[in-house]
Amino acid sequence: MDRSLLTLLKQVDTPTVCNAIEVAQGKRGFDAFTRGTMLASHPDAPAMVGYARTAKIAAVAPPEEPAEVIKARRMNYYRHMAEGPRPAITVVEDTDYPNCIGAYWGEINTTVHKGFSLSGALTNGVMRDLGDLPDGFPVVAGSVGPSHGFVHVKEIGTPVTVFGLRIEDGDLVHADRHGALVIPAGVLPALEGAIRRLLDTEKLVLEPARAKGFDFATFEAAWAAFEAART
């Protein structure tokens, strides 16, 4: 990914990227985004952007496989998270959803993943230790809870689904307190220009609306300019 595009993606929120993808595609209807309300560990943190490192976990019931199998898979999980292209984010599906009880994302695990140079975590599962999670590693999760339950890794590097969004290992993901989306590879060459065009177009309405003396006549003229610029 181009460094200039990466810098810009970190500066804008996920709704902006969602709209900009449609600008790049020249049509409405982009739908590779999460559904429903998610929770952010650091609501004011910049968006996390990166290639997905995927896994699946469960925590309601103890694992049925031998302990040595679970331990080996756990280490393979961490190896998978430590490797691969950067920037990257960890995307973990809790297969107990919607009855998740195991907080996989607490102080220790987030700190370990941050140490692996991952940019954040996206999950439909549980987070905890909210006052102790490290800065620079936001978590966007499905819920908050106190227990780790019987949390264990079930799959590594397989496709996952988080709040209705299917994500494959290696997909480029953008996420913040609004949720997450997968950026289609085909829009990358045009995406930076689309984001800048979108931001400039929005100013046609936002700047007059924030100025003194704004009234309907001013709005009507601004909206006409806005409509002309985005068609």
Strands 88-94 and 48-58 come out as parallel
Domains of the chain: 31-183 (3.50.30.40), 189-230 (no CATH)
Tell me how far apart the alpha carbons of residues 91 and 43 are, in angstroms, rounded to a whole number.
18
pTM of the model: 0.95
The torsion region of residue 116 among left (phi > 0), alpha (psi -120 to 50) and beta comes to: alpha
pLDDT tens for 121-162 read 999 999 999 999 999 999 999 999 999 999 999 999 999 999
175 beta partners: 48, 180
∠ CA 179-184-186, nearest 5°, is 155
Strands 143-144 and 121-123 come out as unpaired
pLDDT value, residue 231: 54
